[in-house]
Structure 1
Amino acid sequence: MSATQSFNTDLLRFLDASPTPFHAVEAMQEILLAAGFEGLDERDEWQLKPGGRYFLVRNGSSLIAFCCGSDNLLQRGWRMVGAHTDSPNLKVKPSPELHRHDYFQLGVEVYGGALLNPWFDRDLGLAGRVNYENSNGELSSALINIARPVGLIPSLAIHLDREANNNHSVNPQKDLPVVLLQSADKQDFRVLLAAEMAAQGVSDVASVLDYELSFYDCQKAALVGWNSDFIASARLDNLLSCFIGIQALLASDKESHTILVCNDHEEVGSQSAVGAQGPMLESVLRRIAGDEVSLQRTMANSMMISADNAHGIHPNFSDRHDANHGPLLNAGPVIKNNANQRYATNSDTSSLFRQLCASQSVAVQSFVVRSDMACGSTVGPLTAAAIGVKTLDVGVPTFAMHSIRELAGSQDAYNLAKVLSAFYGLAALGVAN
Structure 2
Amino acid sequence: MNTNTEFNQSLLQFIAQSPTPFHAVETMKSRLSAQGFEPLYERDEWVLTEGGKYFVTRNDSSLIAFTLPSFDVAHRGYRMIGAHTDSPCLKLKPNAQVTRFGHHQLAVEVYGGVLLHTWLDRDLSLAGRVTAKLENGDLASFLIDFKRPLAYIPNLAIHLNRTANEGFSVNPQEEILPIIAGSQTELELRQLLAAQIQHEHGIEVSAVLDFELSLYDTQAPALVGLHEEYIAAARLDNLLSCFVGLEALLAGGDQQPAMLICTDHEEVGSLSSCGANGPFLEDILRRISPIPEQYVQALQSSMLISADNAHAQHPNYASKHDARHAPVINQGAVIKVNNNQRYASNSETAAVYRDIAAQLGQTVQTFVVRSDMACGSTIGPITAGQIGVPTLDIGLPTFGMHSIRELAGSQDAQRLTELLTHFCRREKVRP
**Pairwise TM-score range, normalised by the shorter structure:** over 0.9
SS at match of 1:149: coil
2:414 match:
414
Q: C-alpha separation between the residues in 1 aligned to 2:143 and 2:38? A: 22
Query: Is residue 345 from structure 1 mapped to residue 345 from structure 2 by the alignment?
Result: yes
SS at match of 1:349: helix
Over residues 33-78 of structure 1, what are the superposed CA-to-partner deviations in whole Å (9 max), with x where a residue is unaligned?
Answer: 0101000011111111111100001000000000002373222111
SS at match of 2:63: strand
8 Å CA contact 2:133, 2:209 repeated in 1: yes
Deviates more, 1:245-254 or 1:408-417: 245-254
Q: C-alpha separation between the residues in 2 aligned to 1:144 and 1:315? A: 39
8 Å CA contact 2:399, 2:408 repeated in 1: yes
Query: Is residue 247 from structure 1 mapped to residue 284 from structure 2 by the alignment?
Result: no
8 Å CA contact 2:79, 2:429 repeated in 1: no
Per-residue deviation at 1:201?
3.4
Q: C-alpha separation between the residues in 2 aligned to 1:308 and 1:185? A: 43
Over residues 134-177 of structure 1, what are the superposed CA-to-partner deviations in whole Å (9 max), with x where a residue is unaligned?
Answer: 11221111000011000000001000111111121000000000
Deviates more, 1:26-35 or 1:183-192: 183-192
Which runs of 5 or more structure 1 residues have no equivalent in the other structure? none
1:44 match:
44
Q: C-alpha separation between the residues in 2 aligned to 1:222 and 1:186? A: 36
2:26 match:
26
Q: C-alpha separation between the residues in 1 aligned to 2:185 and 2:31? A: 45
SS at match of 1:165: helix
Deviates more, 1:22-31 or 1:134-143: 134-143
8 Å CA contact 1:21, 1:61 repeated in 2: yes
Per-residue deviation at 1:188?
2.1
- Counterparts of 1:6-405 in structure 2, within 5 Å, are 6-70=6-70, 72-184=72-184, 187-405=187-405
Per-residue deviation at 1:205?
1.3
Deviates more, 1:176-185 or 1:325-334: 176-185
8 Å CA contact 1:99, 1:186 repeated in 2: no
Per-residue deviation at 1:185?
5.8
Aligned partner of 2:26: which letter? Answer: E
8 Å CA contact 2:349, 2:430 repeated in 1: no
Q: C-alpha separation between the residues in 2 aligned to 1:31 and 1:196? A: 25
8 Å CA contact 1:70, 1:254 repeated in 2: no
Over residues 328-372 of structure 1, what are the superposed CA-to-partner deviations in whole Å (9 max), with x where a residue is unaligned?
Answer: 000000000001000000011111111111112211100000000
Q: Percent identity?
A: 54
TM-score, structure 1 normalization: 0.98
Deviates more, 1:252-261 or 1:126-135: 252-261
Q: C-alpha separation between the residues in 2 aligned to 1:241 and 1:220? A: 19
Q: C-alpha separation between the residues in 2 aligned to 1:152 and 1:201? A: 26
Aligned partner of 1:169: which letter? Answer: S
SS at match of 2:144: strand
TM-score, structure 2 normalization: 0.98
SS at match of 2:163: coil
Over residues 113-133 of structure 1, what are the superposed CA-to-partner deviations in whole Å (9 max), with x where a residue is unaligned?
Answer: 011101000000100000111
Aligned partner of 2:335: which letter? Answer: I
Q: C-alpha separation between the residues in 1 aligned to 2:104 and 2:97? A: 7
Deviates more, 1:137-146 or 1:391-400: 137-146
Per-residue deviation at 1:430?
3.9
SS at match of 2:164: coil
User: How many residues align structurally?
Assistant: 431
8 Å CA contact 1:71, 1:256 repeated in 2: no
Aligned partner of 1:103: which letter? Answer: H
Per-residue deviation at 1:97?
1.1
SS at match of 1:172: coil
Please, what is the CA RMSD of the aligned residues? 1.1
